[in-house]
Structure 1
């Protein structure tokens, strides 16, 4: 039976299969199968299974007996090899033990010799140190016993102490009797040198002696205590500044002194209380004296000393950097990074302390607060003077630019001592608030009634503005802020004036003499002009002292007065314009159809017209002259009025040209009369402007159009002024009058009145739209001619069509 058959029998048999499975889930099922057999049957099945396994084992042994014998033989050989290896291992262990015995003894001897050598080296180094200490101690004693320590001696002593410090810093010399006396002497000499050097440093800083400070810095650098000494100097200066600030702002002291002075004056005992009205001025005087001493003496002295110290320190760094980069780095290591900017750090601390103490003092004493707020410019001047003096010290110092390794270049020294706004911001805001009130209150007061303010009231406001600008000269920022307040004042003044301005028909009539409303508006406009002139005069007088942006702010605010004046003048000018248009419209009531004038010159383009002035032109001249005299000349701000009148004069010329082109019928004598009107028109608008030539394009059109009245249509077509000076639409409009009655003008073709057509032209300034309207009139004429069966157009028609095409091309560009 094959091996596969035996296993197949066992796996397929339910009884045998239970011995092959390890699943716990099949336990219940297996028990059920076993219970299905009796004990005898189970034993029989087991016996049969064992028999099958025995047979299978025998079969496997018979088939593989050679392999089994071979494996048994190799096991015996392996046991022999292991026995040989065990003997070799024993030999190796014995050899290792013998080698260990030979190595340990020399190692112990070498170790002992090494320890002895190390001890010899330590002893030798200690002896060298002791010898050097004794030598340096003798030299130090000689230097210190030579008399009062001079500059050279103290530097040499510091060098010796520095070397002694390096010698003793890594070794314990306690217990060595040979150097105990020297070490004690060295400590005494070190204390003595530090004491004298500190005294030298203080004296040098107080007297601004750079040589003494440099020597002291060198000594402390040699002693290795430079950083500590600098910190002590900084801390001492901060404490002195803080104490000086507190003393200057001590209300009790100031009050006591002021009261004592008042008592001496009155001969009566005083009280240590808040200043009374009688001694308030003494209190302020004492306060300002204390603040002047604080800024001019205490803070300036301490800041200049710190400036000198930093100057010496950075000069030392620069000198070392020229010698060796490594030495420079080593020196910088002795000086912390925050001490490389002593001046800026100290100034920041001074500003912080000053700000804190001022706030505390003002909160505890209302009178002190009122004094600083009311006379803020004086306080600011003291502060700015201090900054300027310190900046001058920084500029004059021969410090140079120092660029440290792994550090950014230092900023310019003049930027260190800048005004810190945190110190003055609280008092500045209060002062500016009062300044605004001082500026705005007069404006509100002068406009409290219904009467236009007088020049005297404006002069009072001007004096206030002058005073505010004068006291703001101490600081650019303050001056700029005051200028903004003045700008607010001018705007408020303009707003009040605008509220008083009269509007409606009473303010715009131009028929009768000036109404009360117009007189009020004229007074307001003249008052605005007076304010403008006075403020401009004040600024002009201070232009050498005021910053340019301050001047700009004030002058820009004055433009509001011109704008309001324009707002008052423009309604009147609008009424004048309407009246001018109404008068020009009466041109069409004139008769321009008369024939040629007898004995007239053939060169009509150059001949001066002999025709009399038209009635409407006479009326126009009289009206403009009267309007200018009664309604415009009374305004004092003639610059604004003249600028506004330019547009009115230009409008007058445009209307005249427009309606002159609409005149129909127009005969040869009518052209002469119309040419005379052209000449008279220049005289009519002359009162509205300084020079008629300044009217620009309208004036050029007037002068260029007049010769066209006497030219033929062919000459008009060749005129070079067309399209450049004179619009094509205007020339076409004038040519309608030269055509037959069937060639209706554009307004006649549209069945409009002349006034309505004029309004349409005002609302349609586009040249293309105007030409399109005239094109419609020409097309209507063309249709009329064809309907009549005529084969020929009037001679003016092709010229007009040609001009229309040229105009449309120009308008399309």
Structure 2
């Protein structure tokens, strides 16, 4: 093995032999400079070396070579045996193929024969059926039955196997002729039946198309034709105005008058909706009912027609709007168009024909916009100049505009509601403009002078103009109550409340000032020196001043307001505050003699009479009025009688805190009143009571005063309490229990 490796290395490393190992060794030899004989010699030596190496290898490995030769012989024998087996297998496979192929070929031939027989049988049956049906077709005069036969014949004729059958060529040609006749008959019957609303004729025509299997395309065509006719009607009506040039006898053209132009358009539109389109819609309604009776699945036929009709109306009105004259006409008189549309729906009275606002929405929006502008213009003109109060004539002119707009919109409920919202915007704008003009400074609130100042007089005029506008609007609504919808009435009435609210806002500064002056006068009650001494005076000085003040402010500042409802409400506020302050200050007034109590009782009667001037229905105030009457009764009773009366009446209309305040006036100086106990002034006490209307808070304040008195007596080690103390203590205890429940 080593010799072999060395020989190979020697050959590979030799420059001469190396050339023979390359792919192009012959070309390499030609370029060598060695002599040819030398090359031959070298080659001979190399060949000899190779032969010797081969012989040596054979000698060394002859056993292996012999074994391989033996194995090759055995392999050849095995291959010969396998070849025999393969030959046998191929022979058997050929025999098996022959056994299978022959029956298959026979079966295939039989199948072809059977298929041809079946085809021939089918053709014969179809031909026989065609001839049979053709015979029936010729013998029947019923178009419905003919349609049924024709449908079956059409299905048979569609069979490609019958294309080249001469025996039925005549029958198939007759089928086509008969079909055309039946279709023409059915179309005529359908149109005539729908036009005259003949149920029998229409049902027959529909049944023919059902039998022919063409009901769907027939209905689609019919709907399309009717929609096109509706479109033509609208187009003609609108186009009659787009070319408003007419010929006179001289042959020259002239434009008709604006009124004539409008009249012509609306006459044509009214005719189109009330006659042409109405007639078509009525026919579709009848067609739908006929389909329903046949139990056909066309429940939405009328609905689809109506939706498409709406799109046509929308498209035609939009197209006509390209003309400036027609556009202005449709926008300004939109309610007329809507009335025609709604009247047609009302005459049809069909649930499938529902009003779709989107159809006329562009026109409606434009109309509402121009209507709002028309409504707001008078309001703008009223307030063009600062300080100018709207006159009744101006307000009447505005009411006429509002009435006109609402009346025109009554053709349809939703349009009426939307116009009512425009009216509401107008009312609110009137309120805003007025609010911008009224005087809000200190001058508007003064009630001390002998007469109203300029700002107050101007405010009075604005408030009265608000009331006049509100009352005239309400009068308009009363006249239209039967025609306006509840929603529309509600919208306008809601906006009218803003006028009353603004009138109340104008009055409020006066009310606040009046209440402030009333409280100032009430406080002077405590400054009068003769409450604890006998006196023959029937009316206290503070009460005379209060009565005079009430009469003066009502006559000077309040009586001129014409809005009696708002004035009554504000005067009721004044009366309530006046009663509250009188009860409050009279209950904490001390000391009081017997005559002082009688005079205070007389003051109650004088106050009641004075308040009836500003609040004639004083008893309608309810509990506050009953409180005044109860205090007038209690004020002259003893402490024991007051408490006993409260126990019998279950508390009545007089709060426990008020009773306790009154009981302090029966006590000596040591049992100080709550405000004396806390060191408060009378105005501070009054302010605290305003801020604490809760009865429990007021009872706590009174309890503090009584507890302080108890502490004072204990500090003195005095065994004697004020005679009214036990009464007050017991009453306070019961009052606190009731309040806690």
Q: What is the TM-score when the length of structure 1 is the normalising length?
A: 0.75
Q: Contact 1:723 / 1:810 at 8 angstroms: preserved in 2?
A: no
Measured against aligned partners, the alpha-carbon deviations of 1:440-491 in whole angstroms (never above 9, x if no partner) come to: 1111112223332221111111100100000000111211111111111111
Q: Distance in 2 between matches of 1:285 and 1:657?
A: 74
Q: Contact 1:580 / 1:652 at 8 angstroms: preserved in 2?
A: yes
Q: Distance in 2 between matches of 1:775 and 1:781?
A: 10
Match of 2:339 in 1: 381
1:227–1:783 distance in 2 versus 1, CA, 3 Å: closer
Q: 1:260 aligned to 2:218? A: no
The within-5 A match list for 1:367-378 is 367-378=325-336
Q: 1:308 aligned to 2:286? A: yes
Q: Distance in 2 between matches of 1:375 and 1:530?
A: 31
Choose 96-105 or 788-797, whichever is displaced more.
96-105
Q: 1:269 aligned to 2:252? A: yes
Match of 1:244 in 2: 233
Match of 1:167 in 2: 156
Alignment gaps of 5+ in structure 2: 1-73
Measured against aligned partners, the alpha-carbon deviations of 1:548-587 in whole angstroms (never above 9, x if no partner) come to: 1001111111111111111122222222222222222222
Match of 2:137 in 1: 140
Match of 1:592 in 2: 531
Q: Distance in 2 between matches of 1:313 and 1:662?
A: 91
Deviation at 1:103, TM superposition (A): 5.9
Deviation at 1:769, TM superposition (A): 3.1
Q: Distance in 2 between matches of 1:685 and 1:422?
A: 60
Q: Contact 2:674 / 2:705 at 8 angstroms: preserved in 1?
A: yes
Deviation at 1:628, TM superposition (A): 2.6
Q: 1:211 aligned to 2:200? A: yes
Match of 2:465 in 1: 527
Match of 1:324 in 2: none
Match of 1:601 in 2: none
Q: Distance in 2 between matches of 1:654 and 1:282?
A: 72
Aligned to 1:249, what secondary structure does the other structure show? helix
Deviation at 1:516, TM superposition (A): 3.4
Aligned to 2:253, what secondary structure does the other structure show? coil
Q: Contact 1:611 / 1:672 at 8 angstroms: preserved in 2?
A: no
Measured against aligned partners, the alpha-carbon deviations of 1:107-159 in whole angstroms (never above 9, x if no partner) come to: 5445444433333333233222222222322332334xxxxxxxx62112212
The within-5 A match list for 1:496-515 is 496-511=433-448, 512-515=450-453
Q: Distance in 2 between matches of 1:161 and 1:502?
A: 93
Q: Contact 1:246 / 1:357 at 8 angstroms: preserved in 2?
A: yes
Over aligned residues, Cα RMSD in angstroms? Answer: 3.0
Deviation at 1:102, TM superposition (A): 5.8
Q: Contact 1:611 / 1:676 at 8 angstroms: preserved in 2?
A: no
Q: Distance in 2 between matches of 1:158 and 1:651?
A: 95
Match of 1:701 in 2: 627
Q: Contact 1:443 / 1:489 at 8 angstroms: preserved in 2?
A: yes
Find 2:480's aligned residue among 542, 564, 567: 542
Q: 1:201 aligned to 2:190? A: yes
Choose 299-308 or 523-532, whichever is displaced more.
299-308
Choose 350-359 or 535-544, whichever is displaced more.
350-359
Find 1:186's aligned residue among 157, 172, 175: 175
Aligned to 1:421, what secondary structure does the other structure show? coil
Q: Contact 1:584 / 1:616 at 8 angstroms: preserved in 2?
A: yes
The within-5 A match list for 1:757-796 is 757-796=685-724
Match of 2:513 in 1: 575
Deviation at 1:95, TM superposition (A): 8.0
Q: Distance in 2 between matches of 1:131 and 1:296?
A: 57
Measured against aligned partners, the alpha-carbon deviations of 1:469-516 in whole angstroms (never above 9, x if no partner) come to: 000001112111111111111111122222232333433333413333
The within-5 A match list for 1:57-456 is 105=102, 107-143=104-140, 153-250=142-239, 253-256=240-243, 258-260=244-246, 263=248, 269-270=252-253, 276=255, 279-317=257-295, 341-363=300-322, 365-390=323-348, 392=349, 394=350, 414=351, 416-449=352-385, 450-456=387-393
1:722–1:685 distance in 2 versus 1, CA, 3 Å: farther
Q: Contact 1:292 / 1:382 at 8 angstroms: preserved in 2?
A: yes
Q: Contact 2:242 / 2:325 at 8 angstroms: preserved in 1?
A: no
Aligned to 1:656, what secondary structure does the other structure show? helix
Q: Contact 2:157 / 2:172 at 8 angstroms: preserved in 1?
A: no
Match of 1:21 in 2: none
Q: Distance in 1 between matches of 2:415 and 2:192?
A: 40
Deviation at 1:99, TM superposition (A): 6.9
Q: Contact 1:722 / 1:728 at 8 angstroms: preserved in 2?
A: no
Q: Distance in 2 between matches of 1:534 and 1:131?
A: 91
1:268–1:625 distance in 2 versus 1, CA, 3 Å: farther
Measured against aligned partners, the alpha-carbon deviations of 1:236-264 in whole angstroms (never above 9, x if no partner) come to: 233333333333333xx5354x4216x35
1:667–1:234 distance in 2 versus 1, CA, 3 Å: same
Deviation at 1:663, TM superposition (A): 1.9
Q: Distance in 1 between matches of 2:241 and 2:722?
A: 107
Q: Distance in 1 between matches of 2:574 and 2:157?
A: 102
Measured against aligned partners, the alpha-carbon deviations of 1:246-289 in whole angstroms (never above 9, x if no partner) come to: 33333xx5354x4216x35xx56106xxxx5x533332222223
Aligned to 1:780, what secondary structure does the other structure show? helix
Q: 1:634 aligned to 2:623? A: no
Alignment gaps of 5+ in structure 1: 1-75, 144-151, 319-331, 333-338, 395-413, 598-609
Measured against aligned partners, the alpha-carbon deviations of 1:773-802 in whole angstroms (never above 9, x if no partner) come to: 333333333343334342222122232223
Deviation at 1:590, TM superposition (A): 4.9
Q: Distance in 1 between matches of 2:529 and 2:557?
A: 29
Q: Contact 2:123 / 2:161 at 8 angstroms: preserved in 1?
A: no
Aligned to 1:448, what secondary structure does the other structure show? coil
Measured against aligned partners, the alpha-carbon deviations of 1:389-416 in whole angstroms (never above 9, x if no partner) come to: 33x2x3xxxxxxxxxxxxxxxxxxx1x3
Q: Contact 2:379 / 2:426 at 8 angstroms: preserved in 1?
A: yes
Q: Distance in 2 between matches of 1:634 and 1:647?
A: 18
Measured against aligned partners, the alpha-carbon deviations of 1:147-180 in whole angstroms (never above 9, x if no partner) come to: xxxxx62112212212212333334222222211
Q: Distance in 1 between matches of 2:166 and 2:417?
A: 77
Q: Distance in 2 between matches of 1:131 and 1:783?
A: 132
Q: Distance in 1 between matches of 2:228 and 2:669?
A: 107
Q: Contact 2:522 / 2:542 at 8 angstroms: preserved in 1?
A: yes
Find 1:685's aligned residue among 611, 615, 619: 611
Deviation at 1:738, TM superposition (A): 1.4
Q: Contact 1:484 / 1:553 at 8 angstroms: preserved in 2?
A: yes
Q: Distance in 2 between matches of 1:577 and 1:354?
A: 65
Match of 2:427 in 1: 490
Q: Contact 1:473 / 1:545 at 8 angstroms: preserved in 2?
A: yes
Deviation at 1:293, TM superposition (A): 3.2
Q: Contact 2:234 / 2:272 at 8 angstroms: preserved in 1?
A: yes
Q: Distance in 2 between matches of 1:283 and 1:426?
A: 23
Aligned to 1:743, what secondary structure does the other structure show? coil
Aligned to 1:453, what secondary structure does the other structure show? coil
Choose 666-675 or 529-538, whichever is displaced more.
666-675
Choose 435-444 or 745-754, whichever is displaced more.
745-754
1:255–1:701 distance in 2 versus 1, CA, 3 Å: closer
Q: Contact 2:242 / 2:326 at 8 angstroms: preserved in 1?
A: no
Choose 684-693 or 467-476, whichever is displaced more.
684-693
Match of 1:675 in 2: 601
Find 2:663's aligned residue among 735, 740, 748: 735
Deviation at 1:541, TM superposition (A): 1.2
Aligned to 2:267, what secondary structure does the other structure show? helix
